[in-house]
Amino acid sequence: MLIKTFSFDQLEILSGIMELYAPDGFEADISYGNGSFYKNVKKPHYKYDINPQVEGVIEACSTRLPNLSETLSSVVFDPPFLTYVRQGREGNGKMIMANRFSGYWRYDELEEHYKNTLKECHRVLKKKGIIVFKCQDIIHNHKMHCTHANAINWAKERGFSLLDLFVLGATHRLPSPNRKGKQKHARIFHSFFLILQKQ
Ligand SMILES: C[S@@+](CC[C@H](N)C(=O)[O-])C[C@H]1O[C@@H](n2cnc3c(N)ncnc32)[C@H](O)[C@@H]1O
């Protein structure tokens, strides 16, 4: 089947990425969550999360991985993308998405986490190794934050180049909490998978 940059099916995108960039499977997933990426594809060898949810996942922060330098060929990173998540700091998040995926309060906290993880991935990856980086743009404080473009720039500053960019469309989203008044921005119905290669 032709591998395309757009799909509504996450599995189709992940299988395509695997076929193109990691035919033997991804080596590490550093924000494993409940492992929903791997329902129908090979699981990674190293499974890390700051808050392990399933058996076999090792507690580790994506900014301080237990692997030796320049030893991995591929890393999957699917960090939280939401801001204004109090739970991120104070443990009182109310949104379903926030509770499931966690998040940040301010956008600069997201930026710090993403940049420090790119730095750590640069350390553990071999030359030409790849990161499969899932991200989503957001509106924060009435301002559009084009996270996928920011992440590409932060990755380039760190010594990665962009090999491919996949867009995952969503057919539905959970309702926004307590939305009142007139809508000011379009609701975001897509996310990105960036393929970044260490130079
Ligand atoms: C969007 S979810 C991951 C989704 C995962 N791909 C799945 O489908 O279940 C984000 C994950 O990142 C983890 N996380 C948040 N901060 C982290 C950090 N500093 N280091 C490692 N994992 C982190 C969260 O615990 C959560 O499981």
How confident is the chain (199 residues) per 10-residue block, as mean pLDDT?
97 97 98 95 96 95 97 97 66 45 80 96 98 95 93 98 98 73 90 98
Question: Which residue bears the tokens 């509106």?
Answer: 139
pLDDT at 166: 98
* Other Cβ atoms within 10 Å of 122 Cβ, number: 19
pLDDT at 103: 76
Q: Whose CA is nearest to atom 7 of ligand 1?
A: 33
pLDDT at 87: 56
CA of 80 to the centre of ligand 1 (A): 6
* Other Cβ atoms within 10 Å of 87 Cβ, number: 16
CA of 2 to the centre of ligand 1 (A): 30
Three-class DSSP category at 156? helix
Give the binding-site residues of ligand 1, using a 6 Å CB cut-off.
30-31, 33-34, 36-37, 49-51, 61-62, 78-80, 101-102, 113
